Amino acid sequence: MGDYPLLNLFWTMLLFFMWVLWFMLLFRVIGDLFRDDDVSGWGKTGWTVVLVVLPFVGVLLYLIVRGKGMGRREMARLQANEEAFRAYVRESAAGAGGTGSGTGDELVRLADLKRRGDLTDDEYERAKTKVLAGV
């Protein structure tokens, strides 16, 4: 370590960090480019050629020209994924109950009947066991 001064170590670490940062940025730009349905195939080909031939200039140019929409496209994609997930959960929860009403809804209805006095404790326990056995 005597022939490699501390300042050179810091410089090497900085260069390595910048190299990793550069590749992250390049992959982010390429991912945004290929996920965007508004860009034609020729447009994607042109941007890809610029990014491969002139990587630094190409990425900076892409960020200047299309950078403002990158965040909006990412948010729209995340919202679409979230909505698809929520729809799947709603569909799965509705399907678990058989007729569309879940087990939880049945138990709440039974508890309400017991609270109002329409069911005795014994009737409530039998009905609850029957609902839970259907799961």
Mean pLDDT over 28-57 rounds to 93
- Return the half-sphere exposure (C-beta side, CA atoms, 13 A cut-off) of residue 74: 10
> Is the torsion defined by CA of 118, 120, 121, 125 positive or negative?
negative
pLDDT of residue 44: 95
Q: pLDDT value at position 14?
A: 95
* pLDDT tens-place string over residues 44-53: 999 999 999 9
CB 114 within 8 A of CB 105: no
Three-state secondary structure of 61-86: HHHHHHHHHHHHHHHHHHHHHHHHHH
Answer whether residue 2 shows pLDDT above 90: no
Residue 74 and residue 15: Cα distance in Å, rounded?
Answer: 29
Q: Cα angle vertex 101, ends 100, 103, to 5°?
A: 130
Q: Using pLDDT thresholds of 50, 70 and 90, give the confidence band for residue 96.
A: low
pLDDT for residue 109 is more than 60: yes
Residue 100 is predicted with a pLDDT of 47
Q: How many CB atoms lie within 10 A of CB 59?
A: 19
Q: What is the mean pLDDT of the chain?
A: 86
pTM: 0.57
